[in-house]
């Protein structure tokens, strides 16, 4: 019984996600679902990306947080449209939350919409919100066991950004193990190793994002 219920909820979510995807593609908006554990650096990645590419691409952001507006305020300082969803306890965003908030964004003035999901390595990967691509951010400080412990997010993402690589010399972690395990779960996964703090490695990510936006309507078929 319980399994059936969960399946029903996911089926309903997928229908609303399809409607979101149509709405966004009609407005020629390329959308990303950015997922990670809390503290991996999603907002910093986003700030830096908007700072670097903001002259070429018009960004819009949906901030998902259990409560508060801290990250939305950080992003809003870049002068891009931002809306905040407070899930009031829910540990992921779903398609309906996105559907309800999309009318508040000037979609005609947005090329790339980034949905910053609630910090959580588990259920955000289960809920399609209507995005063109899922991108996962993993901080090296989380350890090298995460791909095998939380496989779904690695399997569902098109790109994995490994952040805080400037800290590798201070940690007992293996970048090689993360790469090997993540690609074992998802052979098509693109992996970027970056430091959002120093800027190291960010150019490759910017290049991927621009190229992926160009092929946007492929809906994850890459
Ligand atoms: Mg954040
Ligand atoms: Zn959840």
* pLDDT over 50 at 195, yes or no: yes
- Fold (topology level) of 2-215: Rossmann fold (3.40.50)
Give the distance (Å) from ligand 2 centre to CA of residue 211. Answer: 31
pTM given for the model: 0.94
Answer yes or no: are the C-beta atoms of 159 and 190 closer than 8 Å: yes
Gap from CA of 148 to ligand 1 centroid (Å): 24
Q: How many CA atoms lie within 13 A of 211 on its CB side?
A: 10
201-221 pLDDT, tens per residue? Answer: 999 999 999 999 998 755 444
pLDDT at position 221: 44
Mean pLDDT within 36-51: 97
d(CA 67, CA 48): 23
Distance (Å, whole) CA 33 – CA 62: 10
User: What is the pLDDT at residue 72?
Assistant: 96
Tell me the CA–centroid distance for residue 45 and ligand 1, in Å.
9
pLDDT in tens, 56-80: 999 999 999 999 999 999 999 999 9
Average of pLDDT values for 15-39?
97
Domains of the chain, by residue range, sit at: 2-215
The pLDDT tens digits for 99-118 are 999 999 999 999 999 999 99
- For tokens 């590419």, name the residue: 53
How many CA atoms are closer than 13 Å to the CA of 56, on its beta-carbon side? 11
Query: Which ligand lies nearest to the CA atom of residue 93 in the structure?
Result: 2
């Amino acid at each position: 019984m319980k399994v059936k219920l969960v399946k029903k909820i996911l089926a309903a979510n997928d229908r609303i996600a399809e409607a979101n995807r149509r709405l966004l593609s009609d407005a020629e908006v390329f959308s990303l679902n950015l997922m990670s554990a809390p503290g991996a650096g999603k907002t910093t990645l986003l700030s830096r990306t908007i700072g670097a590419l903001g002259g070429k691409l018009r960004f819009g952001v949906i901030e998902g947080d259990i409560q508060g507006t801290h990250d939305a305020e950080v992003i809003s300082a870049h002068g891009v449209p931002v809306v905040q969803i407070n899930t009031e306890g829910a540990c992921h965003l779903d398609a309906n939350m996105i559907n309800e908030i999309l009318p508040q964004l000037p979609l005609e003035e947005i090329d790339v919409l980034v949905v910053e999901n609630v910090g959580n390595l588990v259920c955000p990967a289960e809920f399609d919100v209507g995005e063109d691509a899922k991108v996962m951010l993993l901080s090296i400080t989380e350890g090298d066991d995460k791909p095998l412990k939380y496989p779904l997010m690695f399997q569902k993402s098109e790109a994995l950004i490994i952040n805080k690589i400037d800290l590798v010399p201070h940690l007992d972690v293996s970048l090689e193990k993360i790469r090997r395990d993540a690609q074992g779960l998802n052979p098509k996964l693109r992996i970027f190793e970056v430091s959002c703090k120093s800027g190291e490695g960010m150019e490759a990510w910017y290049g991927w994002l621009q190229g992926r936006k160009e092929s946007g309507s492929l809906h994850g078929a890459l």
